[in-house]
Each structure stands twice: as C-alpha cells, then as structure tokens.
Chains A and B, each alone.
Chain A
Amino acid sequence: MEAFGLLMHGFAVLLTWKTLVLMMVGLVLGIFVGVLPGLGGPNGVAILLPLTFTMDPTSAIVMLSCIYWGALFGGAITSILFNIPGEAWSVATTFDGYPMAQQGRAAEALTAAFTSSFIGSLVAVLLITFLAPMISSFALKFGPPEFFAVYLLTFCSFVGLGREAKHKTVISMSLGLLLAGVGMDTVSGQLRMTFGSTDLLRGINFLVAVIGLFGISEILLTMEERLALRGHAAGISLRVVLSVWRDLPKYWVTLFRSSFIGCWLGITPGGAIAASFMGYNLAKRFSKNPDGFGKGRIEGVFAPETAAHASGTAALLPMLALGIPGSGTAAILLGGLMVWGLNPGPLLFVEHKDFVWGLIASMYLGNVVGLVLVLTTVPIFASILRVPFAAVAPMIVVSCAIGAYAIQNAMFDIWLMLGFGVVGYVFKKIGIPLAPFTLALVLGNRAEDAFRLSMIGSGGDMKVFWSNGLVGSITTLAIVLLFWPVIDKLFGSVTR
C-alpha cells in the first residue's frame, strides 16, 4: 500500500490552481487536436511541447499528458458524428458509432465512447499505479547488458509483430537509429556523419523530426483527399448519459476484455490501433448476435474505445518504469522529459517522486475532468469542423514552425522539419511505417550507449547478452520475436 500513500502525495502536488488550470487548457487543446483533421495526438503534443519549456517539469507533464487524453477523447467525436476517424485507433469506432448517429442515437454513441474511454484509461492507470513502481525497482538492478536486451526486444518486436512489410520496418528503424547517431559521439567525443556541417553538430533533434513527419506530412496527405464532409450535430443531455450508464453493468465482460487487451498491447509496442481492432473483433466473435455489429450496436462502440484508451494509457507504463515508450506519443513525452532535464528510466521513481506521482495522479484527475468536459462541450467541438481546411492548414503549418524553431532556436531545424515532412509523406504512401523510426530516433543513443558499455565491460564478448538468466531470456525472446514470422511459418507447416 506504499503506492497508495505516494499517490495521495501526488494528488497533493497536483491540487493547486495553477496545475488545474493547465490541466483544463491541456484537455481543451487536446480535444481540438483530436478533432481537427491533419493533426493528431503525437504531433499535437510535439507542437505544443515548446510551450512547456519554461514551466517546471510537473506542470509541463500534466499539461502535455492532458493534451494526450484530450486527443484520445477528441478522436471519437469525429468518428461518430462524421464517420471520419480523427486518429487511426478510432477507425473501429466508426463501424458502429456512425450507424448509431445516423439512427439519431449520436448522443448515446458519444456517451458510450467517452465513458468506455474513461473506463479503459482508469484500468490502465490502476495498473500503472501498482505495477510501475515494482517494475522500476526491479529494473534498478539492470546493468547495460540488460538495458540493451530490453531495447533490442522493443526493436525486434516491432519488426516481428508489425503488420507492415518486414524490410520496410527494418528500413524505418535502421534509418532512425542512424540519424540518432549524427553529431558528437557521447563516448569518444568524435564527430560522426556531420560531413563538416556545423548545424549537424548538434545532431538531429527528435522533436523536429516528429513535427515534420507527423505534422507537415499529415497536412500534405489531408490535402490530397476531398475535404467535403457531412455529419450530425449532437448535444448530450443528462438523461441520455444516465441511461447509458445504467446499462453499463450489462456490458462488463466486453469492457473487461477490451481493457485487458488494451493494457497488454499498450505495454508491448504495438499500440492502440491494433488494440482497438482486436477489442472490436473479439466483442463481435463472442457476441450472441454478431450480425448486429456494424449496424449500430452500442457494444461496437464500447469495445474498441475501451481498448484504444487502455492501450494509449498503458503505453506510458514502460516509459515511466524503464524509459522505453510504448507508443509514438509516449516517445514524445519521453523527449520532453529529456528537455526538462529528467533522465527517463527506473531512477525516476527514486529521484523524482513528486514528478512521477504527480503525473500518475494527473492521469486519474485528467480523465475524470476530461470525461465531464467532453460530455458537456461536444456541440462546440463538433462545430470546429465547420472551419474550412484552407484556414486550418496554414495555421497548423505556422504552429509546426513555431514548435520546430523553439526547440533549439535554429533556422536549420525549420528546413529539417520541412525535409522530414516530405519524407513522412512519401514513406506513408509507400507503406514504410513511421512509428519504428520515431522510436529508434528517441532511443538510438541510449541503445548504443548500453551496447558499448556492455561491450567494454565484457571486453567485446557478445556472450555477455546471455551471461545470466534474466538478460539471456530477454535477448533470446528478442531474437525469437525478430524471426517470429519465419518461426510461425515453419511451425505452421509442421503441424499442418
């Protein structure tokens, strides 16, 4: 019950007017970001990160994580009312959410979506509260080989379990790791891959890359499509909310199953997208009446939303406990931690108790406040979509530029952002996934340091990665995951 006491301490850190106001601001900005086409969770957080540079770390993370919750809530609004998934993880929500809106049950669908988002997050936050301290205190015993093995596991699971073509995931990841190495080498002080450029000396900033890859490229992609939309306006009345809530216990199996899937997929890098589809498909498979799905079943909203939020929240667990982000947005929050001078990883729980528990407490509070906020303000946010994209697009470009410039006050970063925008646009269109790139870019230096320290410690003997049971099993698991598609095929052909 130590966690409980610390959590209460976290709430005490949080309950000041300043933090509460920042929380509201974060949520509103987040819902904006979630609703607007061409902006999403990761780049919303990345663009707004510069706002937090002058804040203390606790206020900063509270605001940023609230932007994240807001974006998660916001994605559901456009999916249900307009059949436009604001985020990839909201795609499954449109299957039953939009039909419900067409039948005039928009308010019911929205309430279901927000409520299940809240439940999913809550389950994941509970998990974080009790599991993260345990994992981090266990990880305190990790040496460089163990850390390298965990990084390797993260990278390999992307390659082995991702749905994209394997070589494309490998391209994306190795490119990210390479670009992370540009600049001054931290161990020897030598310059690498700078080609005599003074701008490259600082290295390629992770956040600049993210703003380009997700912000600018998303604008280019959005412009390609026809931007006309038709949708339903909706207001939610208390009566509808209460009637949906009264029926909640009936769906406890669906909610529980989706929360579980979400937490599991959130911790392993795979993410909210897979979780939302899996949640939906399982709810359909176990339903007594599977044919009703896709025609406006409320479970069809409960299942994917719960899973998506549980996984989006659970992605923060490995970030806090081990310094390894489970999703793109978690990777950006991790980038934020480094900007504020905090070193992500197990020591965070020891050295910065206020920060960690403030963040965890803000997850509880942010979700409660967020739920109330979205339930009451849906009509306002839905009407944002009336604003023509021709007005939104240049504003997003300007916000991206401000974000990219503010990180290091360098004009070079603006050009870098533009370059990454084009790269992101092309990569997305030819199916090279961007998430492994992001993860590799943020973890690259740490993975390399861990590798080199292990090598120095062992005198260059690769056997160090199998030197004890723990590191050995993580490394072996990583290699198994890397070759999983091959193993699966071989094993499948044997049993068949």
Chain B
Amino acid sequence: MSNTDIEIVVDDPTAPEVNSPVVTSVRIVDVVVSLLLLALALTLGWDNWRTGAAWDSTGPQAGYFPFYLSVILGGASLYGLVTAFLSRKEAAETFVTRAQLRRVMAVFVPTLLFCLAMQFLGLYVASFLLISTFMRVVGKIALWKSLLTAFVFTAVMFVTFDIAFDVIMPKGPLEAALGR
C-alpha cells in the first residue's frame, strides 16, 4: 500500500459565506414556476386547439395529442400552485442566499457573454477569452497560468474537432485571417 497517508487538499478562496442573507425561498420560486408553467400550458393548449385538436376522417388531428398534454401540464401546475400556497414546511426553506447567487451569476453571466461573443468572434476565440478571464477573475489564478491553460485547451479543442473529426464550429475574423 503506497502513500495512502498523503492528503490531497484543495482550497476554495471565493467560497460563499455560510450566513449570507436569503434572497428568496423555495415557496416563492415554486409559485413563480407554477405560474410560468401554467402560462405555457395555456399558450401551447391554445395553439394546438387552433391547429386542430379534434378528429377528422384520417384519425386524430395534429394538435390532438399535444392539446391534451397541455391540459395535463396545466392541471399539474395548478395543483403545484395550490400546494405551494398551502404548504407551511417549504416556506422556511432557502432557495438561494445572496452569496450563492453571486457565485452562480459569476458563472452564468460569463457564459451568456461567451454565447454572445461566439457569434462575432467565433467559438475558439470566445473560448480562449472565457477560460482565461474566468480563471483569472473568479479563480484568482496567476495570469500566465490562466492564459496558458486557455490557449492549450482551445488549441486542443480546435485540433480535435475542426481538424481531426471535421466538426465545424462558428468561425470569426481570426480564423478567417488564418485561412480556415
């Protein structure tokens, strides 16, 4: 048996604080989601009714199956809405604290920007920017390490997908300048 006593330790410098204020409770999110699903069920139900949810000479029309599914979805959401209002237990449960939300946004916002940037800069340049910036800003990792990791990862992805497997990704001005 070799080196079982050596420990692997990884720290998390930007971990969310434990006693951060609550942003919203599970009950509120439950209600909002139920309302959204209900609205979706109504919209889809109406659209399928318009398409035709009855029977014609060839059998059930195109909207038949989805129409009744919308009814089921609507019913279940309504039930969810009522139980969310009636329940006392879930009211106290935290959905997300402020510190947690900040961390979640720290990934979500860059991801959103990455998707936007991808349309103009191409996937590979956007990836390089995302990885290097994220590592530097969120992870507080040394700049050279961040840049190097981002470059190596992006290059490996490019070689694997674009060259070896012929999977074509969105390209931007840089790829055009390099003739691909």
A385 touches B10 (CB 8 A): yes
A192 and B168 alpha carbons, distance in the complex (Å): 30
Contacts of A170 in B (CB 8 A): 72-73, 76
Contact of A397 among B7, B60, B111 (CB under 8 A): B111
Q: Are A401 and B66 CB-contacts (below 8 A) given A171-B76, A394-B130?
A: no
A167 touches B104 (CB 8 A): no
- Interface flags for B60-101 (1: CB within 8 Å of A; 0: not) read 111111100110110011011001000000000001100010
Contact of A226 among B16, B26, B119 (CB under 8 A): B16
What is the chain B residue whose CB lies nearest that of A82? Answer: B8
B134 touches A224 (CB 8 A): no
Contacts of B155 in A (CB 8 A): none
A187 and B62 alpha carbons, distance in the complex (Å): 8
Stretch at the interface among A48-56, A91-99, A321-329, A472-480: A48-56
A233 touches B7 (CB 8 A): yes
A230 contacts chain B at the CB level, 8 A cutoff: yes
Q: Are A232 and B8 CB-contacts (below 8 A) given A107-B1, A181-B66, A402-B157?
A: yes
B15 touches A411 (CB 8 A): no
Chain A nearest CB from B135 CB (Å) reads 5
A120 and B58 alpha carbons, distance in the complex (Å): 49
Contacts of A394 in B (CB 8 A): 110, 114, 127, 130-131, 134-135
A418 contacts chain B at the CB level, 8 A cutoff: yes
Q: Are A452 and B80 CB-contacts (below 8 A) given A175-B73, A411-B119?
A: no
Contacts of A395 in B (CB 8 A): 131, 153
What is the chain B residue whose CB lies nearest that of A191? Answer: B51
Contacts of A390 in B (CB 8 A): 134-135, 138-141
A406 touches B141 (CB 8 A): no
B47 contacts chain A at the CB level, 8 A cutoff: yes
Within 8 A of B (CB), among A113-160: none
A104 touches B104 (CB 8 A): no
Q: Are A51 and B15 CB-contacts (below 8 A) given A192-B66, A235-B2?
A: no
B108 touches A220 (CB 8 A): yes
Contacts of B44 in A (CB 8 A): 178, 193
A397 touches B114 (CB 8 A): yes
A51 touches B76 (CB 8 A): no
A167 and B79 alpha carbons, distance in the complex (Å): 7
Q: Are A418 and B112 CB-contacts (below 8 A) given A106-B4, A227-B10, A452-B60?
A: yes
What is the chain A residue whose CB lies nearest that of B2? Answer: A235
Chain B nearest CB from A46 CB (Å) reads 14
A104 touches B29 (CB 8 A): no
What is the chain A residue whose CB lies nearest that of B63? Answer: A192
Chain B nearest CB from A36 CB (Å) reads 13
A426 contacts chain B at the CB level, 8 A cutoff: yes
A178 and B68 alpha carbons, distance in the complex (Å): 10
Closest 10 CB pairs of A and B: A390-B139, A456-B59, A228-B12, A226-B15, A227-B12, A174-B73, A185-B62, A235-B2, A190-B62, A394-B134
Q: A232-B6, A379-B3 are in contact. List 15 more A-B contacts (CB 8 A).
A: A171-B73, A171-B77, A174-B73, A178-B70, A192-B51, A193-B47, A228-B11, A230-B10, A390-B138, A399-B157, A402-B161, A405-B123, A405-B169, A422-B108, A429-B96
